[in-house]
Structure 1
Amino acid sequence: MNNNSMRENSLSQAAMPSSDPSQRPRRVRTSRPKVKTGCNNCKKRRIKCDERRPECTNCVRSRKECTGYPPPPRPRIFEEVRIAPKPGTSAAQTIQPREPLRPLVRPPPTPTTAVRLTPPSTPVATASLTVYRPATSLPFDPQEGLYFQLFREHTANELSGFFDTAFWTRCVLQECHSEAAIRYSVVALGALYKTLEKMTESPPGSPSEFFDPADQVNRHWEVAFKHYSLAINAVVKDPSSSRSAQRTRLMASVLLACFDSFIGDHKPAIKQIQTGLQLLETVRAERRRAFLPSPEEPVEQELIQMFTRLAIQAKSYDMAFHFPHPYVVRLTPQSSEYPASPSSEGGSPTSTNQSQIPEVFDTLHEARLAWDTLCEKIMRFTETMFTFVTMNPMGVLPASLQKYGSGFREQVQAWTKAFEPILASRTAPSKSSQEKTAIAVLKMNQIMGTILFSMTYSDNEMAFDAFLPRFQEIVGLATEVIGDEERRAAARRCPNPHFCPHQSAPPDQFANQYTARHIKASFSADLGIVPPLFVVATKCRDRIVRRQAIQLLRTSSRREGMWDSELAAHIGYWIMTIEEGDDNNDGHNYASPESQSHSSPILGDDAPLGPGGNARWGSRRESTQTTPPNHSDNKTIPEEKRVMVRAVEFDLRRHRATLQCGTRGLIPGMPDLRTRTTTFTW
């Protein structure tokens, strides 16, 4: 037998299984984490589900109807995480953020080895953190580069809201090349955005085919707070008074205020805005004292616009919730000598855009700049007037001063007329979804500003009834915005409506099946729909319109700057229960909207939620037949039952609020029989 034959015999014997059982290799079960995202049938049968869409393999083989997959828990904005070190300590120290006080979504445990996860339930577009190649001109390490890319591609657009702005997409990114404070702030916001994205996955924890230990909620959360602290330290450690250093501090104030608003910490956000406004006023005063022939703005127009919008946002927040000192935002210098009339230049100008309102606005951007300028001038005017009035009701100026604001009424009317062609054009097929939404949002805020300015001289809540058509217009525009957003989100996340896992969620009893289930939690630094809807929910006494506003506030977890939709919805609902309740209901026994067992006839099944009816709620017709008790008619609420918000102390991180309401028109210090106080959590 030659060598080749002997080799073949030995190989064939080695390949044959051994007859001795003790020598056979023992099979070991592969250790993998439990997966809880299978379909309902497989979970009941306790078998492995491959999560195929629209039907899993097990259901097809057993000839069962695949009933779908459980929806993810509804996420919310983040809780407080205290950080170290405090400003002034070494920025090189490792910062370990404390665990959140009450986690909103429990993050999955971090496995020690990479494992294969289930596929995502919907083809959502998530930002990748694996393809970034840092530019040589940016001093980023690989991890920071990933978050910078995320900010550039996604976060900047989210922060811009419904309006395009060069501040987020150009100015901030350019400063990252040279300023450490801006660079750290951008990384912090990018990591925070990634945290929100991970918390809103469907199903949670399965954004990709393979598990990445670094792509975890807690990891992004820690990075965000570490770089937030580094950004504060970088600002504190730069005492220079040069023009570039002042510009950096102004820009850092905007970014850090957005970070604080993002996590629901409104007091530090107000402090950041106050610091920025004081610095901007100081720089402007220095340039005026330099006796320049035409003292131009110390920073570019985009940064001035950002501070204008943040100032308007913070001032409206203060006017709605009546914060105590030192969280009161002032737009005018303390040394004002006389109230500025519409035709004067009292105080420092908002921006270099001081042109007259045209007959017709050429672009939406022009209309937005004109309204920002006018709105900020009105706020400065009323703020200054209040400094000259003593012993007057909260938020009310004497009627004798109304003549000084007549010039603003003319300017508001001119703006409204110039904006009409743009408002009518939003139904045109050529308009993009973002532009259509921006037009509606701008009009909503203009209506809100007009109502509040008109009511500054009225001490009677009954006067709000004259604005019912305006309240209805706000609700109609908000319905367009949310309806179009829900339609786009449903088409993106659930292309096949017959196999939509989000429809299996329990019905929203207060909203009567009209909840926008596909819209994820969102944050933007710009104005939106929450402030106007809050005004409708608290000031409109029409039972149907008010309920529509509260419903729209609760359709998604939405935070626009410091305005939180869920807090606004709860405040509006509490005011409604006091004013529409029985005489023996003192408002102390507060029941949140989620605890109600009845539905409200808010919108019909065929109610269009977009221009031309291009978006509708996905609802059932039979759910609209239920009428809640005590709301079959729309009787006028008498003046003696109407109240206004007098103080709100809240913590968005713990989801807890204490509200106080009372009578409009009472001078501070007088006894108020309508005072009501409640504390609630959500």
Structure 2
Amino acid sequence: MKMSMFPSFHQPLAGCDYRALEFFHFQTVSCFGPKAGDFLLHAAYHDATVRVAATALGSLHRAFVRDDDGPAVQSGLTRHALQQYSCAIHLALNQIPVTEGQSTDSILIMCVLFFCFESLQGHFRNAVQHGIAGLRILKQREERFLNEGIVACLPPSIVRLMFVTIENQMLEVDWQSYLPVSIQSTLLSPSKLPPVNLEDTPTLQQLSDSFQFCYNQYLKFLYLSQTPKSVELVQILQQNQAYYAQIRQHMHAWSAKFDAFLEAHVQTNQNEADRMTIKHLKMWRKMIGIFLSMDAPPSHGGLDRFASEFRSILCLAEDLINSSAGTPASKSKPSVSVQPARQQQNTLPPILPKAETSSSSSIPPSSSSFVLSLGLVPLLWIVATSCRHSHIRHRAIDLMSRSRRREGVWDSVLFSKLARKMVTMEEEAAGLAKGAMYEPADLPISARTNAVAGEFCEGRQGKVEFFRDETKLWEEVIQW
């Protein structure tokens, strides 16, 4: 059956394409946050090439969250997604190399969508490769146009922000295994563009964007300070060190404006999406505050004194997980897997039915969720692997395992298993009985696993190694 046509699209949409785009419209874009979601939705409406990638992602996302539909439905959605993905890859390759005067916006957007598609498949190595490809193009364009003084030709700031989110994830999971030495200096150099400048009374979106950029610079510094460095990377580390001296000042100023925002806006008057953003920012502020209060990288045992902070983070995380799981489904509205359904902008073409009146877009409660923004899983991983209070770390693992969240390359089920393995190894090394309660003093430094090195392999598998004082304790190939 043929459905309505999109602007700039010269053939009617088949039913499966329409439903995939409908899901992308009402569900997938909310996984990126309101600002990025509006941008991606506009791109999918007006760029036929991006639309194919959006169709692929919408179909796969639909299969991911509707994991109780049965194998036949799942197989059909996935098969359609893979067909559209293959077509989108072909269209993207036809745009490379970018010719003189040609915009890179479409190819950059497609790299973001491809990153998400491969993440949803669980093919995390491929996702990282798409992220690196997009970052490389973005950095090269920034370098060129800034040197030429053509600021108007720079990619949109929201594209830059989406790649900051992707870059943060890759720095968190250690992308050294995937990053060619020839472009390390390009990607790890501090950006020549200023971070988001906060006004005297910033919006919540501006506060969130500003935090992401500060966090990105901290991660780059932390990554470089722990990585074997060439002469060129040593120079980059020195540049980051100069910036790191300002990060604490930036975070202090950011924190003051965040507190002022909270005082000026009663949270009960915030919509659900804003309340979730506020809780995320509270958690991340507390975690970054812990690390900025110490040297980088933190010393062994340096995190033992932050039990109350870790406990506060877990309370906020549990509130978010429970509120997401407890959102009632509606037969007349689509239920959003991560954030509430967004009000569509009046400036968008009325191609798809409104969420309030669309019966075909109703979606049963999902048991899995996907998001590409500030997430929960990295925080829970840090608490589980860095806090040596038994109750706190096991609670973090439990929250990870039952949240069933995939935040880009951070999969809650996978990382909860890795955290549980690491915690078990430490408890056994300390001679603690299974299920015993303990505090940091009961877990000597000599029993602690101080490094976990992982590498995503082809498909849905990876290699993980656990170290104690540079001695490999365990190596395992895992599948998910």
Q: Please tell me the TM-score bracket, short chain as reference.
A: 0.7 to 0.9
Aligned position for 2:168: 312
Give 1:267 shift. 1.3
Give 1:402 shift. 7.8
Aligned position for 1:662: 467
d(CA) in 1 for partners of 2:265, 2:314: 16
Pair 1:481–1:317, CA change in 2 (3 A): same
1:238 is aligned to 2:105: no
- Once the two structures are superposed, the pairs formed by residues 193-232 of structure 1 within 5 Å of their partners are 193-201=61-69, 204=70, 216-232=73-89
1:333 is aligned to 2:186: yes
Pairwise CA RMSD: 3.5
- Once the two structures are superposed, the pairs formed by residues 334-373 of structure 1 within 5 Å of their partners are 347-349=191-193, 353=196, 355=197, 357=198, 361-373=201-213
For CA contacts below 8 A with separation 6 or more, give which structure has more relative contact order. Answer: 2
The CA deviation string for residues 610-663 of structure 1, in whole angstroms up to 9 with x for no partner, is: xxxxxxxxxxxxxxxxxx955245462111111123312456964x55432223
Pair 1:288–1:485, CA change in 2 (3 A): closer
d(CA) in 2 for partners of 1:307, 1:333: 14
d(CA) in 2 for partners of 1:476, 1:197: 25
8 Å Cα contact 1:281/1:348 also seen in 2: no
Aligned position for 1:252: 110
Pair 1:389–1:311, CA change in 2 (3 A): closer
Aligned position for 2:336: none
d(CA) in 2 for partners of 1:228, 1:634: 49
Return the match for 1:542 from 368, 383, 389. 389
8 Å Cα contact 1:147/1:190 also seen in 2: yes
Pair 1:407–1:175, CA change in 2 (3 A): same
Give 1:383 shift. 4.9
Give 1:535 shift. 0.3
Aligned position for 2:42: 173
Give 1:348 shift. 2.5
1:378 is aligned to 2:218: yes
Give 1:187 shift. 0.9
Give 1:379 shift. 3.1
8 Å Cα contact 2:125/2:458 also seen in 1: no
Aligned position for 1:605: none
d(CA) in 2 for partners of 1:264, 1:174: 25
8 Å Cα contact 2:3/2:13 also seen in 1: no
Q: Which has the higher helix share?
A: 2
Pair 1:261–1:216, CA change in 2 (3 A): same
Give 1:285 shift. 2.2
d(CA) in 2 for partners of 1:291, 1:136: 34
Q: What are the ranges of 5 or more consecutive residues in structure 2 without an aligned counterpart?
A: 232-236, 332-364
1:192 is aligned to 2:65: no
* Bigger Cα Rg: 1
- Once the two structures are superposed, the pairs formed by residues 72-471 of structure 1 within 5 Å of their partners are 132-135=3-6, 137-139=8-10, 140-143=12-15, 144-157=17-30, 159-160=31-32, 163-165=33-35, 167-180=36-49, 182-201=50-69, 204=70, 216-239=73-96, 240-292=98-150, 295-296=151-152, 298-318=154-174, 323-326=176-179, 333=186, 347-349=191-193, 353=196, 355=197, 357=198, 361-383=201-223, 405-422=244-261, 428-453=267-292, 457-458=296-297, 460-471=299-310
Give 1:369 shift. 1.6
The CA deviation string for residues 47-72 of structure 1, in whole angstroms up to 9 with x for no partner, is: xxxxxxxxxxxxxxxxxxxxxxxxxx
Give 1:365 shift. 0.8
d(CA) in 1 for partners of 2:414, 2:75: 25
Give 1:198 shift. 3.9
The CA deviation string for residues 416-444 of structure 1, in whole angstroms up to 9 with x for no partner, is: 22212445788732222222111111222
1:559 alignment partner, SS class: strand
Letter in 2 for 1:164: P
- Higher mean C-alpha displacement, 642-651 vs 244-253: 642-651
1:349 alignment partner, SS class: coil
d(CA) in 1 for partners of 2:194, 2:241: 23
- Once the two structures are superposed, the pairs formed by residues 528-567 of structure 1 within 5 Å of their partners are 528-567=375-414
Aligned position for 1:570: 417
Give 1:136 shift. 5.9
Aligned position for 2:448: 642
- Higher mean C-alpha displacement, 449-458 vs 556-565: 449-458
2:425 alignment partner, SS class: helix
With the length of structure 1 as denominator, give the TM-score of the two structures: 0.57
d(CA) in 2 for partners of 1:470, 1:288: 41
Aligned position for 2:350: none
With the length of structure 2 as denominator, give the TM-score of the two structures: 0.79
Aligned position for 1:612: none
Give 1:275 shift. 1.2
d(CA) in 2 for partners of 1:334, 1:195: 34
Give 1:332 shift. 5.1
Q: What is the number of equivalent residue pairs in this alignment? A: 437
Pair 1:383–1:632, CA change in 2 (3 A): closer
Aligned position for 1:589: none
1:134 alignment partner, SS class: coil
d(CA) in 2 for partners of 1:402, 1:289: 24
Letter in 2 for 1:372: Q
Give 1:237 shift. 1.6
8 Å Cα contact 2:426/2:449 also seen in 1: yes
d(CA) in 1 for partners of 2:416, 2:65: 24
d(CA) in 2 for partners of 1:270, 1:329: 17
Aligned position for 1:617: none
Letter in 2 for 1:195: A
d(CA) in 2 for partners of 1:164, 1:302: 11
Pair 1:311–1:533, CA change in 2 (3 A): same
Give 1:479 shift. 1.1
8 Å Cα contact 1:331/1:380 also seen in 2: no
